[in-house]
A and B are shown apart, each in its own frame.
Chain A
Amino acid sequence: DAGVIQSPRHEVTEMGQEVTLRCKPISGHDYLFWYRQTMMRGLELLIYFNNNVPIDDSGMPEDRFSAKMPNASFSTLKIQPSEPRDSAVYFCASSPDMGGDYGYTFGSGTRLTVV
């Protein structure tokens, strides 16, 4: 397996534009997590899915953020409109179980810069 695949690796966009981040989890992993990492706030959970269904989206900062998982092999995180404070590294992770008892597999992240 190629691991968790995220695209793009880097994204630079202008304030107000729509940004879509993509993630392909490991096949057979029932859980998918979206995290955001910044210097100020560290690593924060945004949302996670179980079998394509969102379970906890309490970490989504505001209505400008939305996440979908249309099937077991693909998820998107969309920001519309984007703002400079959204600049961060966004990670996707997948796991066979909710709590990572069998480990999490993280993607390499998408570094988003909003100018």
Chain B
Amino acid sequence: KQEVTQIPAALSVPEGENLVLNCSFTDSAIYNLQWFRQDPGKGLTSLLLIQSSQREQTSGRLNASLDKSSGRSTLYIAASQPGDSATYLCAVRGSSNTGKLIFGQGTTLQVKP
């Protein structure tokens, strides 16, 4: 059974810092991995999707990497801003035959001005 773990559960950094969020999964046989952002009281927003054959994806100040063999992904946020404060969730999709995503519990990020 696939399990997804995110460490740390919470993180507080001063504005301007570069930071890394971690995601690990127990079954390396995944189809893709996605990172989402969730603001308080809101739904999720898709950030980045990495296919199993890819090593990384970039969007603006965000860079996500995937090491499928070791069951790990990282989300790198450069030059953090207070507006980046939110909960970040990673999710894995097991195969192309399913739409089911298995989510981690998330990392709650606070960027202080």
Contacts and interface: CB of A to CB of B under 8 A. Distances in A.
Contacts, number: 56
B101 interface: yes
Contact of A42 (B45, B49, B105): B105
A42 B38 CA distance: 12
B99 A106 contact: no
A100 B43 contact: no
B100 interface: yes
Given A91-B44, A108-B42, A43 B103 contact: yes
Given A56-B99, A100-B34, A106 B49 contact: no
A33 B99 contact: yes
Q: How large is the interface on B (under 10, 10 to 19, 20 to 34, 35 or more residues)?
A: 20 to 34
B70 interface: no
A1 interface: no
Q: How large is the interface on A (under 10, 10 to 19, 20 to 34, 35 or more residues)?
A: 20 to 34
Contact of B31 (A45, A91, A99, A107): A99
B99 A98 contact: yes
Given A42-B106, A99-B96, A109 B101 contact: no
Residues of A contacting B: mostly: strand
Contacts of A65: none
B103 A42 contact: yes
B43 A93 contact: yes
A98 B101 CA distance: 10
A100 B102 CA distance: 13
A50 B98 CA distance: 11
Interface string A65-99: 00000000000000000000000000101010011
Interface of B: 31-32, 34, 41-46, 49, 89, 91, 93, 96, 98-101, 103-106
